[in-house]
């Protein structure tokens, strides 16, 4: 039984950005001031990013209380009222909110995130950490480890969804030594933060998963390729590596066996294309990150032309749980072809945005409305972008689609690494397609003409559509180009870059046609297609709008209705934001 009260503060990037370090310092100060025998700990992200900073109070008897949006002032109140007087502050508690968020979730990859101190190997071991490694080295052959992965049905969580155990088997059987293991932590999708959160919250789980994979395939050296924009994740991973080395879980003769393995960190420069495995390998070798032709596949000729196994962060985080609990238990979750759970970053126009882990097969509707709490401000759901720039937009009519690899592909999107961006009625789908294609075009390595030139021409058409300068027949040209780029590009970036365009053309074609034929944006997003006018009946002539106008486009006498010159108006929207009487109209 726990001997004393433990107070935990979420200090991953989301918690820190919301002021978590100040909350932690305030709690530390108040606990010391009152001389309380309370243990204060940091944790990773529990997933409720929308209500950070989060504070958990865990009493010796086992009762747990959760507080959300805890400021320095609220932290002092929690100490003075709850810890000192044993009077929980009902107005600040979010225990019921937590129940709603987690009612549909099953945590495997995220099992320790938000619970343990990510910088403490002792905390990880307290939760059964490194027991899977011990079990594998003492009771299982490498082939038995691979068999358990195959039995689990775990598919790579980085996007392609290839069977993990099969990839390990291929690498083990490949001829050539040494063999290498690579963890792909080059998470680059806009709105995605799954891998970052796992490393920040439970770095030892990733290391243990890599150790088990290295044992299975026969590798003695591994790399974690992580983007340099993740400084907290890198720092915690570095600490985890040093702690594992000192504890004998890394290095020579691990746990007294003949198995040896070392891990190094490679910081990527932020090129999205390096998320593609062959481009990542080129970068690891010190070359420019550009994809290579396949075959040969990395399992045969990867890093320095030696057999190499590449999996992403989430994939590795699942492995220790599978080895400890058995592949069949993992396969009990999900569907026949898409087993287990999947981590998603839920973002956009959603009430409860954050990090979630749900069984495969759950519907998009359940995720949006039950886990995510629905759309804020009473707005209407419009679509959800799955798989980032490589994915596609799924409309409201397909909200009951199960979230598994096969079902999502049928919609034209992909599960991808797990990004989910929810959009409401104020979102312009043409602008969304332009945004993602602009990202993919900027991140193209330029190696093949279809991706380098094709995405550029597609982007030019989309820009003309959003500016009201495109001809109606360009819509067919856009679709033709998209299919050509998809068919002719060398790597996954180019092959999937047209997906956001193709899916929005398929499901939201009327929005494109309204932009083209009526020169209007139904969502009132595309700036060049907007017209700002003033309702004379509602305008009281306060002059606030004219003072905010940067081009002096608004004129009128005091206490008389004002007007906007369409020739001078730059459609900045300042007048609309400034008006307190709803007199400024947008069309």
Helix or strand (DSSP H, E) at 355: strand 354-359
CATH number at residue 493: 1.20.1440.230
Q: Are residues 29 and 155 in the same domain?
A: no
Q: Pick from 42, 71, 102: which residue ends a domain?
A: 102
Q: 129 or 490: which carries more pLDDT confidence?
A: 129
CATH number at residue 550: 3.30.70.20
Within the chain, what is the greatest distance between any pair of CA atoms? 88
Q: Are residues 147 and 290 in the same domain?
A: yes
What is the structure's pLDDT at 304? 96
CATH number at residue 64: 3.40.30.10
* HSE, side-chain direction, 13 A CA sphere, residue 379: 17
Query: Which domain does 549 fall in, by range?
Result: 530-586
User: Distance between CA 370 and CA 319 in Å, rounded?
Assistant: 28
Q: Are residues 152 and 242 in the same domain?
A: yes
Provide the b/e sequence for 45-63 (b: ≥16 CB within 10 Å): bbbbbbbbbbbbbbbeeee
Share of the chain above pLDDT 70, in %: 100
What is the structure's pLDDT at 416? 87
Q: Contact at 8 Å (CB) between 40 and 86?
A: no
Q: Pick from 42, 67, 102: which residue ends a domain?
A: 102
1 pLDDT higher than 70: no
Q: Contact at 8 Å (CB) between 344 and 112?
A: no
Beta bridge partners of 585: 533
- The residues, ordered by sequence, that sit 6+ positions from 127 with a Cβ below 8 Å of its Cβ are 111, 112, 115, 116
String of DSSP letters for 404-459: SHHHHHHHT---TTSEEEEEETT--HHHHHHHHHHHHHHH----SHIIIIIHHHHH
* Strand, coil or helix: 347: strand
Q: Are residues 16 and 44 in the same domain?
A: yes
Q: Are residues 180 and 55 in the same domain?
A: no
Q: Contact at 8 Å (CB) between 388 and 395?
A: no
Q: Convert the pLDDT of each residue in 73-97 to its tens digit.
A: 999 999 999 999 999 999 999 988 9
Q: Find the length of the chain.
A: 587
Distance of CA 116 to the CA centre of its chain: 21
Domain for residue 578, yes or no? yes
Share of the chain above pLDDT 90, in %: 95
Q: How many domains does the chain fold into?
A: 5
537 pLDDT higher than 80: yes
Q: Contact at 8 Å (CB) between 401 and 173?
A: no
Helix axes 455-466, 474-488, angle to 10 degrees: 150
Average pLDDT over residues 114-122: 97
Structure tokens at 114: 């938000």
CATH number at residue 411: 3.10.20.600
Domain for residue 347, yes or no? yes
Q: Are residues 40 and 139 in the same domain?
A: no
Q: For strands 354-359 and 341-348, give the pairing.
A: antiparallel
What is the structure's pLDDT at 13? 97
String of DSSP letters for 263-321: EEEEEE---GGGGSHHHHHHHHTTS------SSSPTTTS-GGGS-EEEEEHHHHHHHHH
Q: Are residues 197 and 280 in the same domain?
A: yes
User: Distance between CA 92 and CA 100 in Å, rounded?
Assistant: 16
Average pLDDT over residues 333-355: 97
Domain for residue 110, yes or no? no
Domain for residue 109, yes or no? no
Q: Are residues 150 and 223 in the same domain?
A: yes
Structure tokens at 100: 């709603």
Q: Are residues 551 and 566 in the same domain?
A: yes
What is the structure's pLDDT at 337? 95
- Work out the burial of residue 74: count CB atoms within 10 Å of its CB; fewer than 13 is exposed, 13-18 middle, 19 or more buried: buried
Q: Convert the pLDDT of each residue in 502-512 to its tens digit.
A: 999 999 999 99
Q: Convert the pLDDT of each residue in 132-143 to its tens digit.
A: 999 999 999 999
Average pLDDT over residues 116-143: 98
Helix or strand (DSSP H, E) at 585: strand 584-586
What is the structure's pLDDT at 62? 86
Average pLDDT over residues 241-257: 98
What is the structure's pLDDT at 270? 85
Domain for residue 524, yes or no? no
Q: Convert the pLDDT of each residue in 207-216 to its tens digit.
A: 999 999 999 9
Average pLDDT over residues 48-62: 95
Question: What are the φ and ψ backbone dihedral angles of 347, each rounded to 5 degrees?
Answer: -140, 180
Q: Are residues 267 and 310 in the same domain?
A: yes
- The residues, ordered by sequence, that sit 6+ positions from 585 with a Cβ below 8 Å of its Cβ are 532, 533, 534, 535
Q: Convert the pLDDT of each residue in 193-230 to its tens digit.
A: 999 999 999 999 999 999 999 999 999 999 999 999 99
Domain for residue 111, yes or no? no
CATH number at residue 237: 3.40.50.11540
Q: Are residues 19 and 159 in the same domain?
A: no
What is the structure's pLDDT at 2? 64
User: Distance between CA 253 and CA 267 in Å, rounded?
Assistant: 27
Structure tokens at 319: 């492995």
Give the pLDDT band of residue 358 (cuts 50, 70, 90).
Answer: very high
Q: 403 or 269: which carries more pLDDT confidence?
A: 403
Calculate the average pLDDT of the chain.
96
Domain for residue 336, yes or no? no
Q: Enter the pTM of the model.
A: 0.95
String of DSSP letters for 187-238: --STT--HHHHHHHH-HHHHHHHHHHHHHHHT-SEEEEEEETT-HHHHHHHH
Q: Pick from 292, 309, 331: which residue ends a domain?
A: 331
Q: Are residues 147 and 206 in the same domain?
A: yes
Domain for residue 560, yes or no? yes
Q: Convert the pLDDT of each residue in 398-427 to its tens digit.
A: 999 999 999 999 999 999 889 999 999 999
């Amino acid at each position: 039984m726990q001997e004393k009260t433990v107070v935990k503060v979420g200090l991953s990037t989301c918690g820190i950005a919301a002021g978590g370090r100040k909350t932690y310092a305030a709690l530390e100060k108040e606990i010391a001031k009152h001389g309380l025998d309370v243990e204060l700990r940091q944790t990773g992200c529990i997933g409720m990013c929308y209500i950070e900073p989060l504070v958990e109070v865990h009493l010796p008897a086992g009762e747990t209380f959760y507080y959300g949006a805890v400021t320095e002032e609220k932290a002092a109140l929690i100490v003075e009222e709850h810890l000192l007087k044993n009077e929980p502050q009902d107005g600040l508690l979010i225990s019921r909110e937590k129940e709603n968020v987690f009612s549909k979730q099953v945590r495997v990859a995220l099992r320790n995130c938000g619970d343990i101190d990510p910088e403490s190997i002792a905390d990880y071991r307290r939760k059964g950490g490194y027991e899977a490694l011990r079990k594998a080295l003492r009771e299982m052959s490498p082939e038995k480890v691979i068999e358990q992965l195959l039995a689990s049905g775990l598919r790579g969580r980085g996007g392609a969804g290839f069977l993990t155990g099969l990839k390990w088997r291929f690498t083990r059987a490949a001829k050539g030594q040494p063999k290498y293991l690579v963890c792909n932590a080059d998470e680059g999708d806009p709105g995605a933060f799954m891998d970052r959160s796992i490393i920040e919250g439970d770095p030892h789980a990733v290391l243990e998963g890599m150790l088990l994979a290295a044992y299975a395939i026969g590798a003695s050296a591994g790399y974690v390729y992580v983007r340099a924009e993740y400084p907290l994740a890198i720092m915690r991973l570095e600490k985890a590596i040093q702690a594992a080395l000192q504890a004998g879980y890394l290095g020579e003769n691990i746990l007294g066996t003949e198995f040896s393995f070392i891990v190094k960190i490679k910081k990527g420069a932020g090129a999205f294309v390096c998320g593609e495995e062959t481009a990542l390998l080129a970068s690891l070798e010190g070359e420019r990150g550009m994809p290579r032709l396949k075959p040969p596949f990395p399992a045969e000729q990867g890093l320095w032309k030696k057999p190499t196994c590449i999996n992403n962060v989430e994939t590795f985080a699942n492995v220790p749980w599978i080895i400890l609990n058995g592949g069949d238990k993992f396969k009990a979750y999900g569907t026949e072809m898409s087993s287990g759970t999947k981590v998603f970053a839920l973002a956009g126009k959603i009430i409860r945005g954050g990090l979630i882990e749900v069984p495969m097969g759950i519907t998009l509707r359940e995720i949006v409305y039950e886990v995510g709490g629905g759309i804020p401000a009473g707005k209407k759901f419009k679509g959800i972008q799955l798989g980032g720039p490589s994915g596609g937009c799924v409309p409201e009519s397909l909200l009951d689609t199960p979230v598994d690899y096969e079902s999502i592909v049928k919609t034209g999107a992909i599960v991808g690494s797990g990004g989910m961006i929810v959009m409401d009625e104020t979102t312009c789908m043409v602008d969304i397609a332009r945004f993602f294609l602009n990202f993919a075009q900027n991140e193209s390595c330029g190696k093949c003409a279809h991706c380098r030139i094709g995405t550029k021409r597609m982007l030019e058409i989309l820009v003309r559509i959003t500016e009201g300068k495109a001809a109606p027949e360009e819509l067919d040209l856009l679709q033709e180009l998209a299919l050509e780029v998809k068919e002719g590009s060398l790597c996954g970036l180019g092959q999937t870059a047209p997906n956001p365009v193709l899916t929005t053309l398929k499901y939201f074609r009327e929005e494109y046609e309204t932009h083209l034929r009526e020169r209007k944006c139904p969502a009132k997003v595309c700036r060049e297609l907007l017209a700002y006018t003033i309702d004379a009946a509602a305008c009281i002539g306060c002059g606030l709008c004219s003072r905010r106008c940067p081009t002096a486009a608004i004129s009128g006498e005091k206490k008389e209705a004002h007007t906007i010159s369409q020739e001078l108006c730059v459609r900045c929207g300042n007048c609309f934001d400034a008006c307190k009487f709803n007199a400024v109209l947008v069309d």
